Amino acid sequence: MAKPGQVESKWHVVDATDEVLGRLASDIAVVLMGKHRPMYTPHVETGDFVVVTNAEKVGMTGNKWNDRHYTWYTGHPGLRLESYGDRLDRKPEDLIYHAVRRVLPKNKLATAMLKKLKIYAGPEHPHTAQGPSELERQGKKVK
Whether the per-residue pLDDT at 20 is higher than 80: the answer is: yes
Which pairs count as long-range contacts for 82-85, CB under 8 Å and 24+ apart, including other chains?
84/60
pLDDT per position as a tens digit, 74-123? 999 999 999 999 999 999 999 999 999 999 999 999 999 999 999 999 99
The DSSP 8-state label assigned to residue 11 in this structure reads: E
The rounded distance, in Å, linking the Cα atoms of 29 and 24 is: 9
End-to-end CA distance of the chain: 42
Confidence band of 140 (pLDDT split at 50, 70, 90): low
What percentage of the chain reaches a pLDDT higher than 90? 90
Q: Is-contact 92 56, C-beta < 8 A? A: yes
pLDDT per position as a tens digit, 41-56? 999 999 999 999 999 9
Whether the per-residue pLDDT at 143 is higher than 60: the answer is: no
